[in-house]
Each structure stands twice: as structure tokens, then as C-alpha cells.
Chain A
């Protein structure tokens, strides 16, 4: 912990503060525009980070992640349209408050609760990550395969309206992850005679295509204009009594968001729904929820912001992303020459501590910027679609090109853009494809190494305790989600 003081000094350098403010603004902007997400913003900005050192790059992208979570609540409250699914439940009480002329208060509470949730989860992340990474250092390929399988099983299941479609999308992503020269033998696989494919499909252009170009194509298809915010937002800060009244539920949401957010595939949407239902269930006046109760905003918003720290734990300690946005962040680490996982904590504490410090300050920046920008929210959330679509497409294509100066990367981005558009057009989720591209090589490598260790005996996965527990958890999560889907209570995540 003695590394924190120098870490804060690094984060306070002007370039890092600038990146944090810029990232926060972009995150709030993308989060508040319905249809655009923090994942898209991060995917578009990864190419910008090539020329930057690791710390400012990661601070920029992590601030977008934080800002995006808060930004999505703004339109949920003002126009009953959540910027992202994570704020869908905030609509219930947030919009009711806006109708009562308390939109400003609701957004302020969302910002404050989000900050507390974010800070709480970063605290837990700082506390849990080092010991978890030390445990993970002892993992053999057997445990790694089970972790990857657990991650894949839950992610496939919660990432779409239909379980089977989520699983098909994920399996397709896994097959695409096998493209290139085999890791153990010099054999090209699925390269179709294209020599550039021998190195495998580059992840960053794939992500740009999946999330940015496919979104541009989707917006072209939808036509029309983005919804303009017409509600007048005055800067009304909550009274002390209002703020105090939401504290308990803010902490409840923070704990739920952090703990559930740590599970691969849980995601911000699920956390917000669980937090809201728990807050309502334990309330003395559940009948008030849905009619403009401030706790109905505080609890889910604290929870979805708390996911940021929670989801970073498996990503940073095990190298296993829990959702699409952490998968894209993982790519950003790799671009900087850092491989998330236990070795990151052993070899790169000079980067890890500033990341922790940056996440703390980024949450405080969110509070300051969220409240300061509140009167201008109606302006920042309105961008004409006819201007937005070409900008997203050009930044996506040029970003992919700038990676290596070769058209191959742009071709990959275009391929994934078309694939992503077609998949989403027919209700196949994109998040499993993205996660499978990251988890596929981990799963295959560890599976084959395990088979070598056991001389081809697959029972090795059931004879080691941690592996067995993870496999049982994977089985349980799929079973639970199957039952939930049969009852029609699946929560979708983007």
C-alpha cells in the first residue's frame, strides 16, 4: 500500500488529469445518447491510445467507462429512454421524479450515488485484487480452463434475449478465435489461403467493427433523428434530508453492484435490477416505488457504477473479462503491452497502483463534472444522427487503419461490422462474440495443456477442487438461467 502516494502524484500530472476529464466528458456524452454506449466509445478510442504511455491511456479509457455509467441515467430520467440498458430500471422512479419537476434532483442523486458506488467498488478492488492475484499465480492450466468455461457459460447465457442465440453467437466467436497459426504446431487454421490471417484475427479492429461500424449500419437502417431532450433541467441539488434519506440504499446498491459485478457475465443491468428489487422489497413503503422515490434512483445507479470496480477484479487478476466493456478494456491493456492476469500484479505494480489511484480520482471527477454539466445536459445529449453516423464510421475505419497502416485491419473491421449488423438485426447478441474472441485462445490453450498434463484424461478437470467448484458453478449458472428464461425473467445486457 506504500505505493499509493507516488501513484497519486503520477495521476495528478497534467496529462493524466486532462485524459481523465476528456474521458469523463466522452463517457457522459456517449452514455447519455440512447443507442451509444461506453463500450463503443472505448472501442473507438483505443487507436488514439497507441501513441500514449500506458497510464494516461488507461486512465482515459477507465474514465469513459465510469462516465458512461452515469451518463446513461440522464436520458433515463429526462426522456424515459435509458442511454444504456444499465439504467433501464432508473426510468421507473427517475422519470416519475422528472414529471414532478425534480429531474435535476434525480440526476444529482444519480451522480452522487454513482460516485459512492464507484468509490466503494474501487476500494473492494484494491483490497481483493492483490490476494486474488496471488492465489491465481498458483493456478494451473486446469483451473484456467475451468475459469474460462465458467466465464463463457454465464456470459453466453445472460447476454441476449434468447439463450440459444447467445450461445450460438458465442460459439461463432470461439470458432473465429481459432483462426491463424496453431499455438502448439505450425499449422494454419481457417486462414483460407490469406497470409495476413496467419497471425489470427486482430482483436482491436474486430471490436471496432463489432461495436462501432455495426452501430453505424444499424443507425443508417433505423433512419430518423435521435430523440431530443425537451425537459428543462434546472440545477437543483438535493436537500440534506433528501441526500441522507438515500444513503442507506446507496450503500445497499454499492454492495450488490460490487459483489454481483465480480461474477463474469452478471453485468451492470442485472446488478441495477437486483439492487432496485432489493431496495423495494426491504422498504417500509414499497408502494411508493415507481411513483418518484429517490431511493429508486439511488440504489440502481449506485449498483451499476459499482460494477465498474467489481468487473475489473476478474479482468485484472485473472485476465478473464466479465462483460463486453471489460473485454474491450482488456484489449486496451494488451495494446499497451500489458497482459492482465496475476503476472500484472507481480511485474507491473508501477502501472497497477496508478490505475487504482486513477479510478478513485475518476469517480470524484465524475461527481464534479456530472454536477457541473447538469444544466447543459440537454445540449450534450443531442447530436444529429446524420452527422453522428459518418463520424462513427470514419473514426472506426481510420482508427483501424492507423493501427498498422495496412488495409487488412480495416478489412477485418468491416467484416466484423457487417457480421455485427447482421447478428443484431436477427437478435443475436454481440457481447458473446467479443468475449469469445478474448476467452477462446485462453480456453483452448489451457484445455490442450491440461490434456497433455493428464495424458488425455479429461477427468483431470473434476479431480482438482478449484476446477471442480468452477465447473459446478458453470453448470449451476446455466441451469438457473435456463429456468429463468423459461419463466421469462432474463435480463439482457449489451
Chain B
């Protein structure tokens, strides 16, 4: 077992306590004892039990094995850079979600594509990113807006 498993177990335990606590606000009865809180409480207890098992099992595992298994691939610099890239992709995706409404589908999709492609590239190739972005934005718009008649946001610029 890894140290990350111990953390996962602790998070699972926290979530189970949270789910159980929230379920206390639901009515207990609906004709029988099986009211709205019945199923969530069973699940919270199950999750708590299994997470506690994972936590204890990880803590009792031999430290040297845990340390060896937790050793990241590549050096620390590469690991850190990759994690930042994922964080960047998540933040970029969230920004895309809000930007789509504000600046419209076409501009936001173009920018999001260029951003993600640049994030993936080892060497910056801006022209390639821009050309693919124009192509994919056009195709996506054609499929969703023209073929499927989905209403995509126009944004404040084109309004």
C-alpha cells in the first residue's frame, strides 16, 4: 500500500462522515423505516468502513515498500511540470466554461484549443496551433450549430 492510499482512506472517511451528517437532515420514515435517509446512511457507513480499512492497511504496511511504490516516474522537476500542466488544463477548461457564455462559442473555442495545444507541445509551434484551432472550431461549429441545430452562445461581441 502507498502513502497516497492512506490519504485517500482519510478523504473517504471524511466524505462518509459528511454524507452521514448531511443524511441526518433527511426524514427517517416514509411508511416504513426506509425513508430518504435510509440508503444514504447505509452507503455512508459502508464508505466509512472501507475507507478506514484502506487507511489502517496503508499505515500498517511496511514503510520501505510504501516509499518505493510512491516513488514518482521521472525526476521531481518533470513531475512538478506535469502536475502544473494538468492544473492549467483544469483551470483553462473552467475558464472556457464561463468564457463561452461571455465572448461566444467561436472565440472561446479557438482560444481554448490554442491554449491546450500549446500546453501539450514540447516546443512552441504557434502557427500549427492556430491553424488546427481554426479548423477544429469551424468543424465543431458546423457539427453542433448547423448539423445538430444546437444553440451555441454568440457572446457579447457578435450580439
Could you tell me which A residues sit within 8 Å of B by CB distance? Answer: 47-48, 50-51, 164-165, 167-168, 171-172, 174-175, 178, 182, 184-185, 187, 189-190, 213, 216-217, 219-223, 385-387, 389-391, 393-395, 397-398, 401-402, 405, 407, 410-411, 414, 417-418, 421, 426, 428, 443-444, 447-448, 451-452, 455-456
Contacts and interface: CB of A to CB of B under 8 A. Distances in A.
A387 B132 contact: yes
Nearest to B94: A414
Contact of B144 (A402, A411, A447): A402
B136 A217 contact: no
Contacts of A448: 30, 32, 34, 38-39
Contacts of B88: 220
B43 interface: yes
Contact of A402 (B8, B54, B148): B148
Contacts of B143: 48
B112 A447 contact: no
B39 A405 contact: no
Nearest to A449: B34
Contacts of A390: 112-113, 116-117, 120, 132-133, 136
Contacts of A190: 19, 22, 40
Given A187-B27, A189-B40, A172 B15 contact: yes
B152 A401 contact: yes
A178 B144 contact: no
Interface string B93-114: 1101110110001000100110
B86 A394 contact: no
A394 B140 contact: yes
A405 B36 contact: no
Contacts of B116: 216, 220, 389-390, 393
Interface in B15-48: 15, 19, 22-23, 26-27, 30-36, 38-40, 43-44, 46-47
Contacts of A48: 143, 148
A395 B140 contact: yes
Nearest to A171: B47
14 contacts: A164-B50, A184-B36, A217-B89, A220-B119, A220-B120, A389-B117, A393-B93, A394-B113, A394-B136, A397-B93, A402-B148, A407-B97, A452-B31, A452-B34
B90 interface: yes
B19 A175 contact: yes
Interface residues of B, number: 65
A451 B140 contact: no
Contacts of A447: 34, 38-39
B60 to A, nearest CB: 14
Nearest to B89: A220
B101 A407 contact: yes
A182 B36 contact: yes
B57 to A, nearest CB: 8
A230 B1 CA distance: 38
A417 B93 contact: yes
A185 to B, nearest CB: 5
B75 interface: no
A231 B117 CA distance: 28
A390 B5 CA distance: 31
A389 B47 CA distance: 33
Given A51-B148, A390-B117, 8 more contacts: A47-B148, A164-B54, A167-B50, A168-B51, A189-B36, A385-B120, A407-B97, A447-B39
Contact of A426 (B5, B19, B133, B147): B5
Contacts of A393: 89, 93, 112, 116
Contacts of B33: 451, 456
The 4 closest A-B pairs by CB, nearest first: A386-B120, A402-B150, A451-B34, A390-B116
Contacts of A417: 90, 93
Question: Which one of B43, B53, B113, B143 has the highest number of Cβ atoms from chain A below 10 Å of its Cβ?
Answer: B43
B159 interface: no
